[in-house]
Amino acid sequence: MRRTIWACLLIASFLALGWATASADLTAMEQLGKDLFFDSNLSTPAGVACAACHAPSTAFAGPVSELNQHGAVYPGAVHTRFGNRKPPTAAYTSFSPPFHFSEEDGLYEGGMFWDGRADDIVEQAKGPFLNPVEMNNPNMRHVVGKVLKSDYGMSFKEGYAAWILAQTPPGDMIPELTFDLSDDMFIENAYQYIAEAIAAYETSSEVNRFSSKYDAYLQGMATLTAEEAWGLELFEGKAMCANCHISEPDMDEGSPPLFTDYTYDNLGVPRNPENPWYTMPKGFNPQGEDWTDYGLGGRLGLADEMGKVKVPTLRNVAMKPYDGFVQAYTHNGYFKSLEDIVHFYNTRDVEMWPAPEVPMNVNSDELGNLGLSAAEEAALVAFMGTLTDGWMDGMAPGVTPATAVTPRLLLNSSPNPFHGATEIRFALPEAGRVTLSVFDVSGRRVRSLLAGDRLAGPQAVTWDATNDRGVQVAPGVYFFRMQTAQNHRVQRVVLLP
Ligand code: HEC
Ligand code: HEC
């Protein structure tokens, strides 16, 4: 029995690994990572995928304008539970080196999260599934079980088999392949593989597109406007932004600029009084309103690091899915626009700003009183607008390859074929307007089932064809058509007599 599983899986996996999927040139492992990243069934209760807080329409940061406008912290699978920080972008973050102390620079560098508490993206990806304020699963077994049962379960098994094989030194016995949920070794390996697949997706060129106007400019394929060019000059000169947000290609690595040096700093950002963490139950936040985010210093227990957080990339900071969308900036989302934060850098020490959240280690050498005019502030903002992906690959902001081919937008309806009523289930990777209608074979709309705004996550709508507003619908073939801003899906169903 086991032997047969091996044989089938290996043949399938060699085929799968050899081919990139047609949709967006992802390898099989990247595609699996993408399936995992967008699967809102991987939380308890179901409803919150990684993409709920890291959505393609906002370059893998938080996609809900109303949330950004206030606390800027996103609810987890249990909707009354919140974490304490704003989701940073999950794009361009795979370039961060592992967390370490650099003897050369005398500074902490690298790692994941605002406080660097995960070493790299693989370690990071293991966190959210089990975090009670995020995806809230009781244990790794639970997550692996859901993955095995998912509609990409087979590609998981194939990839896992190939991965185990690749890790077995030549000449060693190939371990027995089991998908036995009571086998601790399997669970541990499978969970590791899930994290590696997600990391592979986060490292893919679909997530890290390097397709902004600034990238084109660096390659001699675009000219900046006079204001953008002035902004760049200020960014690298008078405003000193490039001291931390590196704007030049990395000559050693040969990579385009990532707009961060992965160090940690305290800008003296005020606390965000609307952070929902302050009012979380004592079991989560024993300090209540008195809680302070000490960032890296809090994690390491080091006075010299108190209040410092990781320098984020500025790639895609200006990306907005639609006009009027509010983005939130810094670890607590205190700032609501680029104009706001640039004005803070410029005037923190000369105008009235609320006190810093953490008064220790506030950087006064590189910000606080830059002496920029209003026009210079505006030029800096204009320059940051050139960092939005999509300029070179011709895709509008918000329409990334990731949304163009969102997996499992329409899950299914069941039963199908059906008598009487059927339940249509689908998962929205992000909040937005949705319509769902029933059409007959001649293309006539029989019924509108849904038309309105929906939150991200799983949705269920029932179509009762026997008693649909008193009208009996004739047996036969029908189509459900669901439409979102970026995508549509059609499913064929059969209504039995
Ligand atoms: C409920 C919202 C939420 C969900 C769900 C969520 N994240 Fe996050 N993510 C955050 C927040 C908030 C942070 C920053 C937390 C901190 O610094 O303490 C973060 C940080 C990250 C980072 C670090 C980025 C950097 O530059 O340091 C990555 C990568 C990431 N998340 C990927 C994922 C993946 C993969 C999943 C799914 C397995 C996921 N997230 C699920 C909110 C979320
Ligand atoms: C001393 C290093 C340093 C300098 C200089 C610096 N920054 Fe930053 N920047 C940071 C850090 C650290 C953060 C995160 C702060 C936080 O979350 O509290 C940040 C955050 C930001 C953000 C928010 C990004 C996000 O995803 O939330 C923007 C925008 C930004 N900086 C733009 C600029 C501009 C424009 C300049 C020049 C006027 C500049 N920075 C100068 C270190 C720096």
Q: Residue 460's beta-bridge partner residues? A: 425
Residues 188 and 97 in one domain: yes
Q: Which domain holds residue 188?
A: 2-202
The residue nearest atom 31 of ligand 1, judged by CA position, is 90
Residues 110 and 47 in one domain: yes
Question: What integer pLDDT is reported at residue 408 of this predicted model?
Answer: 40
**Tokens standing for 459?**
């949705």
Could you tell me the distance, in angstroms and rounded to a whole number, from the CA of residue 90 to the centre of ligand 1? 7
The burial of 73, by beta-carbon neighbours within 10 Å (0-12 exposed, 13-18 middle, 19 or more buried), is given as buried
DSSP 189-210: HHHHHHHHHHHHHHTSTTT---
Q: What angle do CA 218, 108, 102 make, to 5 degrees?
A: 80
Say yes or no: 454 and 473 in one domain. Answer: yes
pLDDT at 298: 96
How many distinct structural domains can be found in the chain? 3
Closest CA relative to residue 422, chosen from 347, 374, 488, 478 = 478
pLDDT at 394: 62
Q: Assign residue 259 a region: left if phi > 0, alpha if psi is -120 to 50, beta otherwise?
A: left
CATH, residue 135: 1.10.760.10
Q: Global pTM?
A: 0.80
Whether 295 is in the pocket of ligand 1, judged by its Cβ within 6 Å, is no
For the Cβ of 90 lying below 6 angstroms from any atom of ligand 1, the answer is: yes
CB atoms within 10 A of CB 66: 8
CA distances from 337 to 324, 383, 399, 472 (A): 11, 14, 22, 53
Q: In which order are the strands placed within the sheet that holds 410-414?
A: 410-414, 421-428, 457-464
DSSP element (H, E) containing 458:
strand 457-464
Cβ–ligand 1 distance for 429 under 6 Å, the answer no
3-state secondary structure of 72: coil
Rg (CA), the chain: 25
Same domain for 189 and 230, yes or no, is no
Task: Quote the CA–CA distance of 286 and 276 in Å, as a whole number.
Answer: 14
In sequence order, what E strands does 319-444 have? Answer: 410-414, 421-428, 432-440
Mutate to test the pocket of ligand 2, among 228, 245, 342 (most ligand atoms within 8 A of CB): 245
The residue whose CA is least distant from atom 37 of ligand 1 is 50
Residue 321 lies in a domain: yes
Kindly state whether residues 305 and 226 are assigned to the same domain. Answer: yes
How far apart CA 462 and CA 40 sit, in angstroms, is 20
Domain boundary among 356, 387, 418: 387
- Of 202, 226, 241, the residue that ends a domain is 202
Predicted pLDDT at 411: 53
Q: Tell me: do 250 and 379 sit in the same domain.
A: yes
345 lies in some domain: yes
pLDDT tens digits, 312-325: 999 999 998 888 99
In this structure, the residue with its CA closest to atom 15 of ligand 1 is 113
Among 180, 202, 224, which residue terminates a domain? Answer: 202
Note whether residue 62 is domain-resident. Answer: yes
429 shares a domain with 310: no
Q: How far apart are CA 186 and CA 426, in angstroms?
A: 30
The per-residue pLDDT for range 435-467, each reduced to its tens digit, is 888 888 777 888 888 888 877 776 788 888 876
Q: Is 478 in the pocket of ligand 1 (CB under 6 A)?
A: no
Residue 402 falls inside a structural domain: no
- The DSSP element (H or E) to which 144 belongs, if any, is helix 140-149
Centroid of chain to Cα 240: 29
Residues ≥6 apart with Cβ < 8 Å to 347: 353, 368, 369, 370
Task: Mark 161-197 as b/e (b = at least 16 C-beta within 10 Å).
Answer: bbbbbeeeeeeeeeeebebeeeeeebbebbbbbbbbb
Are 28 and 51 within one domain?
yes
| Closest alpha carbon to 382 in 419, 338, 324 | 338
Instruction: Confirm whether 140 is domain-assigned.
Output: yes
Do 238 and 343 lie in a common domain?
Answer: yes
Half-sphere exposure in the Cβ direction for 372 (13 Å, CA): 29
Cα of 217 vs centre of ligand 1, distance in Å, is 31
Does residue 443 belong to any structural domain of this protein? yes
218 and 194 assigned to the same domain = no
Residues 337 and 258 in one domain: yes
What DSSP line would sit under 29-53, residue for residue?
Answer: HHHHHHHHHT-GGGSSSS---HHHH
Q: Are 85 and 332 in contact (CB under 8 A)?
A: yes
Kindly state whether residue 277 falls inside one of the protein's structural domains. yes
Cα 128 to ligand 1 centre (Å) = 7
Co-location of 195 and 218 in the same domain: no
* Sign of the Cα pseudo-torsion (73, 82, 85, 98, in order): negative
**How many angstroms separate the CA atoms of 430 and 140, rounded?**
25
Q: Is residue 393 part of a domain?
A: no
Among 495, 259, 479, 471, smallest CA distance to 386 is for 259
Angle between helices 153-167 and 2-18 (to 10 degrees): 90
CA distance 194 to 208: 20
Residues of the chain with pLDDT under 70: 1-24, 253-254, 394-412, 429, 458, 467-471
- Specify the ligand 1 atom closest to the Cα of 43: 5
3-class SS at 492?
strand
Predicted confidence at residue 447, as pLDDT, reads 86
